[in-house]
A and B are shown apart, each in its own frame.
Chain A
Amino acid sequence: MRSLWDFHGGIHPDENKQQSLQQPLADAPLPKKVVLPLQQHIGAASEPIVQVGDKVKTGQCIAKADGFVSANIHASISGTVVAIDEQPIPHPSGMSDLCISIESDGLDQWVDLTPVTDWQTADTETLIQAIAKAGIVGLGGAGFPTAVKARTRERHAIDTLVINAAECEPYITADDISMQTYPEQIIIGAQILCQLVNPSSCLIGVEDNKSDAIKALQKAAQGTHIEVVVIPTKYPSGGEKQLIKILTGREVPSGGLPADIGVVCQNVGTTLAIAQAITLGQPLVSRVVTLTGNAFTRRQNLQVRLGTPIHELLAYAGYNAAIASRLVMGGPMMGFSLLSDQLPVVKTTNCILAPTAQEFPDPEPENPCIRCGMCEQACPAELLPQQLHWFAKAQEFEKAQLFNLFDCIECGACAYVCPSHIPLVQYYRFAKSEIRKESEEAKKAERAKIRFEQRQARLEREEAEKVAQREARMAAAAAATAAKKAAEASQSTNLDSATGTSAHNTAAAPLATASHAATSQLDEAALKKLKIQRAAAAVALKKAEKALTEAKDNGVDVETLNTLDQQLNAAQQKLNTIDQQLGKEISPAAATSSANATASLNAGAQAEHEKALKQAKIAAAASKAAVKKAEKALIHARENEGVEEISAKEQALVIAQNLAQKAAEKLEALNQAPVAASVAAPSQSASTVEANSSDTGQAEYEKALKQAKIAAAASKAAVKKAEKALIHARENEGAEEISAKEQALVIAQSLAQKAAEKLEALNQTPVAASVAAPSQPASTVEANSSAETGQAEYEKALKQAKIAAAASKAAVKKAEKALAQAQEKGDATEIDQCTDAVNSAKNKAEAAANKLKQLTEAKAAIVE
């Protein structure tokens, strides 16, 4: 006698198995029409391989397994495919799914079956292929594709094969009758499985309430190494984990598989199907279904073709709708109630239960939990069901998980014993689905975050490349300057032959530059090509992003999302590679274009321009100072004053910022003006004087550049300071301080940005001019036209300065008004602050006025 183990808890509901065991197993009448869902198993739905209108024979494969974890589906009758569409399927939610409908021709013509006759000597792969071809899935309830399970040995060391024949659910006798009817075939099936799994022992676990089945099996198993183990009747001993514990004493680890502890478990019905598939070549087109419950007049087990509509079975079994309390698919403990009888029998349908109200009364109202702990005594997973119930009810899902909610097998033992009639399993299902939803959303968010970061990195890279290009251009400009100097030197060489040799050496430099430029031009074709490629890659990236978004919105499964993610990454990488190539190509190209640029500069206009530029710079600096003061006042106000003061100061700041913006724009305009001038000037003959004057302009420009650089550095320092202050505020201070400092930082950053832009503008502008100037100076006419342009620019500057002055005056007035209000209120600090604000506004106004004055004076000078 083999020693058995016990599992914690369990219950002993009335078995009610005898009702359906009075009759032998019989064939159900052939259905007129079958509806075969494409998903009757765990894993991916099958892929239909027939079309509407096709004639099919019984046993013909009509849908192929799609992916590794999936299963074939076969026509269960011969006839015509009449539809491939959404039909209601047996599911607790009452949902619909894609199904293939076949109308019977009444002939039940089978395809030619190809058994594996020499299965004792056949190799593993042949047997597994035959099982997969037959579309066999776990018939116990889960519907896991059997062929996949049969490959367990490829990844795990297995020592025990368990055939689950416990059938612990009350009422159901499908396995019982199968064992009584086909004991030899079941033993053959077990032997085939042994050949696949190669265990040291094979145990068939049967509950002791099936004495006929036990006898039949024991007789059939004689002479084999297969052992029929009789176990005590207790629900849920037929649970996979529980049965393994009973037979081997081992516990499947939480979240693990039986294979982790060296066990493979197969349902006895599945074992029979395997035997029929191998020895007869018969695919899974029917299964044994128990029809029981007192609302049937004929309670018995039937061999039912898959896809048979339930109402046909009900009619056959003498179903009395008047006395039925509900219709259940599966057993009374874990089965689900059906919302219609227009549903097909599927591979996992082991029982149709039609109880009367005496058998299954309507559920009693839920009473409060009194923590009696009866559920805990019944729980086979050794959980604390009532604690889980409290957590689920309070939506404390994290605690529920900590109390091992996911080890719950939903056997219903807790709800069975609960004296308060609490539908505990329903609470656990709710909590589980909520937790799954949450984690799914967290995964989505994580994916979105990664994508965002990748995009951010890409943008940064692009920005960095732009900067690199700019630097390349600057380098080119420097080279051009050197070339100019060399030209000058060579000119002087003509005058003084004594120094000729050395000057000639210097002159070699521009020649070299020129030759380099020539080779760069050759690359342009390649560059163009790369640019086209880049555009294509960018389009691909966008497409991939769009597809991913759509997929997420439509809620497709995780695998598809992952694939799309990968596609997106691939597209991004391609783009990056091209970008890098492009970056390499662009540097010489930029040099080429810079070197080739031609323009001339009129000395007078340049001088005018420099003057206006200087003035504009002063104005810009003044307005920046005003902005800073206003900011300071605002920050101060935020810290110390009321809402009105703050808003007044905010307005003052906005005005000051606008002024600063305008000043900056003007400066920008002036900076760009010479570009226009230089572009306008056609290339003509040179004179030494003009070259010299050009040099003066160059000196002026260098000065401006220096100043701009200083300004840029200062503003960068300001940004850094503001950042530091912000970090400090985040660490030590309240929300208000933080937001004030954040704003200060933003302002500082925008100032820095502007300074950088100005610097950039200065960098780019005169280069072209200075390069071309010595060799090709302009004529007087053009000089005049250039001067006119300068004049127009000046007028524009003047106008802007006037506007600025007016605006700052308005600011002064507003600040004064605020001061007056503060004085009325009589708050000393407020008055002080408003006085400060007025003063700063006044300063600003003064600065604006000064600027205006300067501009006017400048005009006077020009007129003179």
Chain B
Amino acid sequence: MAFIRVSSPHLHRPLSTHQVMRYVILATLPGLATLTYLFGWGSLINVLLASAFGLVFEAIVLKMRKRNPMPALKDNSALLTCVLLGLALPPLAPWWMLATGSFVAIVIAKQLYGGLGNNPFNPAMVAYALLLIAFPVEMTQWISPARLLEHTPDLVSSLQAVFGHPQIADAFTMATPLDGFKHKGELMADEYWRQNAFMPEKVWEAWALSSIAFMLGGLFLLWKKIFTWHIPVAFLGSLGLLSLLAYGADASNFASPMIHLFSGATMLGAFFIATDPVTAATSNKGKLWFGAGIGVLVFVIRTWGNYPDAVAFSVLLMNFAAPLIDYYSQPRSFGHKKPRKGIKHDA
């Protein structure tokens, strides 16, 4: 034996970054399976294609940065980013949107900032926001739940739709509940639901089911202590509370808390997007502020903004605020009377 100099501690918990990432990817599977079951092959194709593009881009950019790409590819972080991007994009999105999204997420939002751990903004959400602004039509076309259609697009036609025949996809798309509600015009809420007779039950049901699937995945991660409860609870809590207040005050003009919480990207965002540790606030108290801020922004943008859903923008805006939150949300350290706020010396 050589006498080696090793710094304490000598023991280490058997949990590494790549395993953390793998847990998160595994936790998305219930959601992905539900989406595939309810909306056809689109989401699965999205996820696989985006992942392939992402890994290739990651390898290329690391080569260009003169780094060994293997450790980075093995840490599963690029894979996770692209899985989340694939889940967020509408099923049957054309391949070039997936390529563009993966490029923006991996090369621009992550590696140009210095790679894993150094990116200030959630890479998947940067890509999503860019695609939403650049291709608004493609991004708001969500496929109808399979059970509403007489014949669902099979795997072959799905692939055809993705690779060059978007008109195939057009035949299957319709507005999402959030989108529909956004564009109900002058109609009161109950009138809107009445006019779109199938919407409240079947579509709503499909969205709620996939939301619950994502929530289950998130609860699994909570149980595994991959992240803490603070961000999801603060996010869902503030969004639920605000929508409940609005709905209670004026049920005919505001969407119900159920629609806010169980449709759109709320659950995916609360458990998988906002909890990205790299770009979130870090202390427990800070995470509460961070999550609550996202919830408020989601409600505000959904209700009064131009976009039907708002998770991407809200997360990005709170990413901006995370360093500030970090400075002002330090915990009270052991043996101190009160926590320190900011980075100035005590007067």
Contacts and interface: CB of A to CB of B under 8 A. Distances in A.
Interface of A: 7-8, 11, 13-14, 94, 170, 241, 245, 251-256, 295, 321-328, 330, 332-341, 353, 355, 360, 362-365, 367-374, 376-377, 380-384, 386-387, 399, 402-404, 407, 410, 412-413, 415-417, 419-421, 423, 425-426, 429
B252 interface: no
A354 to B, nearest CB: 8
Contact of A333 (B10, B15, B335): B10
Given A332-B10, A416-B9, A417-B13, A327 B334 contact: no
Contacts of B3: 326-327, 337-341
A251 B17 CA distance: 34
A327 B1 contact: yes
A734 B10 CA distance: 58
B8 A334 contact: yes
B202 interface: no
Contacts of B336: 253-254, 404, 407
B334 A419 contact: no
A386 B282 contact: yes
Most buried by B among A251, A252, A340: A251
A308 B228 CA distance: 49
A372 B340 contact: no
A413 to B, nearest CB: 8
A513 to B, nearest CB: 66
Contact of A241 (B225, B284, B334): B334
Interface in B176-194: none
Given A368-B117, A381-B334, A326 B7 contact: no
Contacts of B340: 402-404
Interface in B310-347: 326, 330-336, 340, 343-345
A370 B116 contact: yes
Contacts of B283: 373, 376, 384
Contacts of B205: none
A370 B17 contact: yes
15 contacts: A251-B334, A364-B12, A367-B17, A367-B71, A367-B75, A370-B17, A371-B277, A374-B225, A382-B334, A402-B340, A403-B330, A416-B9, A416-B11, A426-B7, A429-B7
Nearest to B17: A419
Given A367-B17, A371-B117, A373-B228, A339 B5 contact: yes
Contacts of B17: 367, 370, 419-420
Contacts of A340: 3
A386 B281 CA distance: 12
A13 B14 CA distance: 10
Contacts of A321: 1
Given A367-B71, A372-B227, A373-B228, 9 more contacts: A94-B5, A251-B335, A255-B335, A321-B1, A332-B9, A407-B333, A416-B12, A419-B15, A420-B117
A14 B77 CA distance: 29
B330 A326 contact: no
A420 B7 CA distance: 15
Nearest to A7: B334
A223 to B, nearest CB: 36
A505 B308 CA distance: 118
Contact of B282 (A8, A94, A376, A381): A376
A611 B308 CA distance: 106
A423 B7 CA distance: 7
Contacts, number: 172
B112 interface: no
Given A327-B3, A337-B3, A382-B333, A368 B118 contact: yes
A399 B4 CA distance: 33
Given A384-B331, A403-B330, A407-B333, A333 B1 contact: no
Interface of B: 1, 3-13, 15-17, 19-20, 71, 75, 77, 115-118, 225-228, 277-278, 280, 282-284, 287, 326, 330-336, 340, 343-345
A256 B8 CA distance: 25
Contact of A256 (B75, B278, B331, B335): B335
Nearest to B6: A337
Contact of A326 (B6, B227, B284, B335): B6
Contact of A402 (B8, B16, B345): B345
Nearest to A326: B4
Contact of A13 (B13, B226, B332): B13
Nearest to A427: B7
B200 to A, nearest CB: 40
Contacts of A421: 12, 16
Contact of A253 (B284, B330, B335): B335
Contacts of B343: 399, 402
A7 B332 CA distance: 12
- Which 9 pairs between the two chains have the least Cβ-Cβ distance? A412-B9, A368-B117, A254-B335, A426-B7, A324-B1, A372-B277, A404-B333, A381-B334, A332-B10
A45 B280 CA distance: 50
A310 to B, nearest CB: 11
Nearest to A407: B333
A837 B228 CA distance: 80
B334 A360 contact: no
Contacts of A371: 117, 277-278, 280, 282
Nearest to B114: A368
Contacts of B16: 364, 367, 419-421
A622 to B, nearest CB: 61
A8 B334 contact: yes
Contact of A373 (B13, B277, B335): B277
Contacts of B4: 325-326, 337, 362
Contacts of B278: 370-371
A369 B7 contact: no
B152 to A, nearest CB: 39
Most A C-beta atoms less than 10 A away, residue of B11, B75, B287: B11
A425 B333 contact: no
A384 B330 contact: yes
Contact of B20 (A8, A332, A404, A419): A419
A426 B340 CA distance: 24
Most interface-central of A256, A326, A328, A339 (chain B CB within 10 A): A326
A644 to B, nearest CB: 50
A684 to B, nearest CB: 81
A376 B116 contact: no
A725 B265 CA distance: 70
A13 B10 CA distance: 11
A644 B128 CA distance: 64
B282 A13 contact: no
Contacts of B287: 373
Given A368-B115, A372-B277, A384-B330, A334 B345 contact: no
Contacts of B15: 417, 419
A339 to B, nearest CB: 5
A11 B13 contact: yes
A817 B69 CA distance: 70
Given A373-B277, A407-B333, A333 B282 contact: no
Given A326-B1, A419-B19, A425 B335 contact: no
Contacts of A326: 1, 3-4, 6, 10
Contacts of B226: 372
B218 to A, nearest CB: 16
A600 to B, nearest CB: 75
A500 B266 CA distance: 124
Contact of B333 (A254, A337, A339): A254
B7 A425 contact: yes
A412 B118 contact: no
Contact of B335 (A324, A407, A413): A407
Contacts of B19: 419
Contact of B5 (A8, A337, A372): A337
A416 B9 CA distance: 7
Contacts of B228: 373, 377
**B9, B20, B117, B344: most-surrounded residue (chain A CB, <10 A):** B9
A387 B1 contact: no
